[in-house]
Amino acid sequence: MRQMLGLVQFSWLARVVALLLATNGVVPAGRSLAQVQPSVTPVLPPFDTLVPPPETPAPTATPSPGVETPETPSAQTPTSAPTVQEEALPRPTRSPQTNPNEFPINPLEIQEADPLIPTRDRPLSPLERRDLIAALDALNLKATALHKAGGKEQAYAIWFRELRLRRFLGLVPELQALGRVGSVVWGDSRISEVRWITERLDAVLTQAQALPSQKPTTPDAVFTHGKLPVSLPGTAVTQENRIAVLEALGTAYQQIRFPQRAVTAYELILADASERKDAEKVEQTQITLAQLYLGWFKYPEATAIYQALLATAQSRGDVRSQIRYLTTLAYIHEQAKQPDQAIPYQIQLVELYQKLQQAEPLPRLYIRMGDNYQLANRADLAEQSYQTAYKLAQPQLQFGNASEALQKLGALYRANDRLDAALRVYVFLLDVEQLAYNAYGTMNAYDQLGQIYLLKEENAQALSAFQRGLQVARQLSYREDYFLTQIQKLGQPQPRQ
């Protein structure tokens, strides 16, 4: 190493002497000594790039007369081509933004031959189409089995191969497969796979959106030696398949939990049906949209659609549809914590049931009205609703509804310190539970009676109620300690078992 350094120092010293001799010891103004070149000088690589053993540099050729010699750059900013030693040094790594491994290629866009696709330039024959469907169904079954067994990466690879090939069968089969696989990858929280499937769905949706104003001008492509072309037979959205494609898109978007795009697809279907004055399709699509909004808790949007549906049903005198839409509107307002807005729809329901002479739904409906009146701080109307519910449920032997109505009525009386009224209600409740052979309800009724008697300071009656409650509790092996405690507080020995 010392010999190498000495050689380098000697070489530089010899170069300086040669330069001084060539210029007669004079350096031109504005030029450094390193910038002055003799006619023939050895060119050495920068010192910091030398890697032993040093190679003997080849001398540069003497410039021809009249040809300008480029200046030699200084040692601090070398611009010459890298030497063999320089190329052997480590190269800087690529930035993360240009790293091809950071974002995997969308497998749905892979253009490669597949043995399941014919290699001749023509559409699939019926027999080839049938064979392809069977092969792709087999791939789906294989991927499903692998996924269940824990081989998810292998399953994804097979599924995405299936999705690529489903495109040869047309848009609707492809979209159905995209939704099916999309539901699985969404459940597995596979962000990249969900994004790839969404991109393909978005591309088809864009075609469907552009169709009314701009018909597709690119004809369907044919097979290209087994590779996946950009456009395949049957993959363009046309007037003939547009509605079927949009419906498949709406379902697929819901399967990957993308309701906003699903709404876009169904709104296009609705606009088309409205333009064609297809009342049945309009109503069907409105219901789908409303259910979609309701499933994602978009209550105002769902309410607006159901109100439009209700108005249509009322205009044509469709009572059964009115009942369905009124029930849903009341439910939406209850879920949105708007009881005062749910009650008017329930009142209309009562009128329709009475018009149809259907008494069976009324007890349950009056109980819900009573609940909403309580939430709206209308205790008087809640009381009337619960009383009506009990009166209507009793002759129909609806013991469950009768019991619930009495329980809520009794709780309402207790909350308003109307103990005598509450006591009468729980006596009725005890009879209902015993008629229904409801031991649990009977036990709770005795408990409520005992508590009310305690509030009225009628300890003897309270003790009797708790003792009867204990007997039922022992039959159920439930809440025995509670009734024993109540009896002991009253200072009486427990009854024998």
C-alpha 184/C-alpha 66 separation (Å) is: 76
pTM of the model: 0.70
Six-digit token pair at 236?
């363009």
What Cα–Cα distance (Å) separates residue 459 from each residue in 188, 420, 426, 479, 494?
A: 62, 15, 17, 21, 15
Q: What backbone torsions phi and psi does residue 227 show, to the nearest 5 degrees? A: -85, 165
Six-digit token pair at 106?
């969308």
pLDDT for residue 86:
39
- Tell me, what amino acid is at 346? Q
pLDDT for residue 381:
97
3-class SS at 227?
Answer: strand
Task: Provide DSSP, 154-216.
Answer: HHHHHHHHHHHHHGGG-HHHHHHHHHHHHHHHHHTT-HHHHHHHHHHHHHHHHHHHHTTTS--
Contact 492, 463 (CB under 8 A): yes
Q: Provide the residue-wise pLDDT of the chain in tens; the chain has 497 residues.
A: 444 445 445 455 555 445 444 444 444 444 444 444 444 444 434 434 334 444 444 444 444 444 444 444 444 444 444 433 333 333 333 334 445 555 678 899 888 888 898 755 678 889 999 999 999 999 999 999 999 999 999 999 999 999 999 999 999 999 999 999 999 999 999 999 999 999 999 999 999 998 864 444 444 444 343 344 444 555 688 888 999 999 999 999 999 999 999 999 999 999 999 999 999 999 999 999 999 999 999 999 999 999 999 999 999 999 999 999 999 999 999 999 999 999 999 999 999 999 999 999 999 999 999 999 999 999 999 999 999 999 999 999 999 999 999 999 999 999 999 999 999 999 999 999 999 999 999 999 999 999 999 999 999 999 999 999 999 999 999 999 999 999 999 876 555 55
pLDDT for residue 70:
41
Residue 224 DSSP symbol: B
- For the chain, report the end-to-end CA distance as a whole number of angstroms: 106
Q: Classify domain 127-296 at the CATH topology level.
A: 1.25.40
pLDDT for residue 232:
53
Count other Cβ atoms within 10 Å, centred on residue 79: 8
Q: Sort 1 into a burial class: Cβ within 10 Å, 0-12 / 13-18 / 19+.
A: exposed
pLDDT for residue 495:
56
Residue boundaries of the structural domains of the chain: 1-59, 127-296, 438-497
